[in-house]
Amino acid sequence: MSAQEPRLDPERWWTRLWKFFVALLGLSFFIASLSSGYLRRLPNWEWWELSARILFGLLALVLAAYLFLKRRGKLAREEAAPTQAAYPFPKFLDSLWTEGARRITSESVEDNASNGKKPVDSKGTGESDYLRPIAIFTELIMNVSKHRVRVAETVDVEGHMMVQRVIVEFDLPRGWEQAKFLYLPVLHPVKGELVDNFHLRDAQDSSLTDLTYEETTRLAAAGLRLLMAFGDKAVIAAESESVVPPVAAEASTEWPDAAMVAKEKDLLTLLAMRGPVDIEPMQRTINEILETFEVDDLTKGYLRRYVLELCGAYPIVAVVDPQIVAGGRVLIKYERTLMPASVTAAAGSSEGPPARSRRAKFGVKRWRGLMRIGMGLRPAQVAVPISLALTASSYHLRLNAPESKYVFEQHLTCSHCDQLVTPSWVGSRPGVKRGPVGTAKCTHKAGVEPSAHRFDDRHYFRLQRRHGQNFVHLYMRGFGAAKPKMHDLQVVARFKEVPPGSRLQAAVTAFATTVLVIVVGYMVSNHRVAPESDYPAVILALPAVVASWFGIASERNALVGGSLLARLSLIVSGVLSIASIVTYLMTAPTEAGSSPPPPQVSLLGVTHKAWIALSLLSLVNFVYIYYRFVLKLIHYRDLMRRKQGHGSTMKIA
């Protein structure tokens, strides 16, 4: 027993009592709707009883819906409070301003105690060990897509979760040869987002260390100081072609002045902010701070880029030994777990893209997603953002599904308007709705169609043609250098089961159900069943058992779901099987020696109306599922027969 009793909340208890009362009332209405005989004293009691039962049933439904919606609303509210952006404490900023950047004053890696020693040239090159690493870090932050020459992303959807494995190939700026170590910003997660199961490795799969938040912020502060010093004083020192320390030290007596310190701390505040940040207001703030900053345009441009990049994301910075760099190229791998959200079109506009929800509002397909979820089937479509393509010169995405699946459809689309990306698209600024299908959030517009007979250095993409494989391969080039960029593009892949799959199971079950229903119907119709015999009922129950087993066994250990049609067919088979048992128990002969009925309308010898209906339904179920199974089989075979061609350039295969 805990020492502190939970406090009794009267309002909460009243709510519970009210819900209990409503549930009791609903249960009473439900029982009343199933009961009969209580109105027999009234004239026309059958009519009154039927009306009363319908009324009780409706009341029970209304109360059940009320309780359901109330509970659902409560569950939906049980969420953590949204993360807000938070400014750092002034003390933390002070420590950034002094302690953080003090590291760069040390002479060498071994001497970073910042004991006030003069930063004497330790290698005879006029610079300390930290100049190159910090300068390279700053350059990599400001010029992301230029130095990330290739990014290969693999997303596995084979287990319960999605696992992202990324290989980043850097082309380091010159000067890396003089560095004793390197700070490489590998990943730029948006502030406020957690990175799950993150592992950082080099090309030999050896683990790499990465900086903590505070270390990264200090590094960012050092980079900021370096860029701020890029201004006029440095220009004067550079133009004098004398960059020996005494000159700079002399100049430093006037730099930075108080106004510049204030600006620097303002910018540091933005860098050290925690939590999600809106980029557009942040851009305006940075511009306001830099507006009265008396430095040349080049420095101002560098500062603008640098601060914006770091105030929106916490870069994960790997510390790398330059010995693994060859010719300026270094390869870093990382791995993390992605959390996909299951979105259905009928779930409302709050989850799915607006265009998708709008189109689905009045369509039959609106319920398909809900049916799939309701039947315990996981989504068979996967949408993966390709934002890494905008941070690299060359980008590969491989989306791997389980081996039991093949790619049925693959599209490169805009996540806002669902339009397929075409080679003629160019980037545009958001905020203006372009065309009848675009949205205000879209960052693309139609450009000039590329021609085969002219030179073109624009962005380029290609999807591997479908050959019945279980993965999507997308190649993109030049999207990181586009100006402006096309944001929020995604790959949408739809996977199907490799035949025979669950459709064959459903077809076999439907066939067995159909045969048994027709046979039992024929025997009942022709009085060939032994009186009081239970064997037909037992036999008719078999398809229901088989359907249940297939339904349970088909969806284990797979993130990508199976066939909705097969699941529906299995359910129909099971329901028909149970309906046949009930029909048999109600229509089975109880006496022997009856003569067969006179010739009348029959279906395969079945003359009993209830059995004809059951046989027809079962037959339709079997024929349709078998037709769809054959269709898929032929489609898959056609995919397998496709030849490897190169005619699919820029084509959505």
Site string for other proteins, 407-446 (x = CB under 8 A): --x-x-x---xxxx----------------x---------
Binding status of residue 289 toward other proteins by CB under 8 A? yes
Instruction: Give the number of other Cβ atoms within 10 Å of residue 348's Cβ.
Output: 11
Among the listed residues 266, 441, 504, 537, the single contact to other proteins using CB under 8 A? 266
Least separation in angstroms between residue 428's CB and other proteins is 12
The CA–CA distances, whole Å, from 131 to 171, 434, 475, 534, 605 equal 19, 47, 36, 90, 93
- Buried b or exposed e, range 228-258, using 16+ CB within 10 angstroms: bbbbebbeebeeeeeeeeeebeebeeeebee
* Closest distance to other proteins from the beta carbon of 496 (Å): 12
Instruction: Using CB under 8 A, pick the residue from 275, 376, 431, 484 that binds other proteins.
Output: 484
Find all residues with CB under 8 Å of 411, minimum gap 6, and list them.
420, 491, 492, 493, 652
> Footprint of other proteins on residues 9-68 (CB under 8 A)?
none
Among 324, 498, 623, 652, binds other proteins (CB under 8 A): 652
Cβ nearer to other proteins, comparing 383 with 523: 383
Rounded Cα–Cα distance for residues 570 and 577 (Å): 10
Residues 170-199 that bind other proteins (CB under 8 A): 173-175, 187-190, 193, 195
Residues 381-400 binding other proteins (CB under 8 A) are 381-385, 387-388, 390-391
Identify the residue among 241, 291, 297, 591 touching other proteins (CB under 8 A): 241
CA end-to-end span of the chain: 65
Give one DSSP letter per residue of 592-603, joined into a string: S-PPPPPS---B
**Which of 15, 83, 197, 342 lies at the binding interface for other proteins (CB under 8 A)?**
342
Nearest to 595 by CA among 525, 538, 652: 525
Instruction: Please give the size of the binding site for other proteins, defined by CB under 8 A.
Output: 144
Q: Is 360 in the site for other proteins (CB under 8 A)?
A: yes
CB 22 within 8 A of CB 61: no
Q: What backbone torsions phi and psi does residue 22 show, to the nearest 5 degrees?
A: -60, -40
Half-sphere exposure of 268 (CA within 13 A, CB side): 31
Q: 539 to 568, contacts with other proteins by CB under 8 A?
A: 559-561, 564
Please tell me whether residue 649 adopts helix, strand or coil conformation.
coil
Closest CB 495 distance from other proteins, rounded Å: 10
Question: Is 3 a binder of other proteins (CB under 8 A)?
Answer: no
Residue with smaller CB distance to other proteins, 171 or 202: 171
Stretch that binds other proteins, among 253-261, 511-519, 536-544, 613-621 (CB under 8 A): 253-261
To other proteins, the closest distance from the beta carbon of 625 in angstroms equals: 19
Place of tokens 């957690």: 194
The conformation of residue 313, written as its DSSP 8-state character, comes to: B
Distances in Å between the Cα of 277 and the Cα atoms of 145, 271, 473, 493 are 22, 11, 33, 31
Residues 568-627 that bind other proteins (CB under 8 A): none
Question: Bridge-partner residues for 150, per DSSP?
Answer: 169, 394
Exactly one of 56, 302, 406, 461 binds other proteins (CB under 8 A); that residue is: 302
**Which contiguous run of DSSP H or E holds residue 184?**
strand 182-187
Q: Which is nearer to other proteins, 36 or 122 (CB)?
A: 122
Nearest to 459 by CA among 488, 429, 489, 423: 423
State the nearest-atom distance from the C-beta of 96 to other proteins, in Å.
11
156 lies in the binding site for other proteins (CB under 8 A): no
- The answer to whether residue 448 forms part of the interface with other proteins (CB under 8 A) is no
Q: Would you say 174 or 637 has its CB closer to other proteins?
A: 174
Contact segment (CB under 8 A) with other proteins among 59-67, 122-130, 583-591, 605-613 equals 122-130
Toward other proteins, which CB reaches closer, 355 or 529? 355
Residue 515 touches other proteins, criterion: CB under 8 A? no
Please report whether residue 133 would count as binding other proteins according to CB under 8 A. no
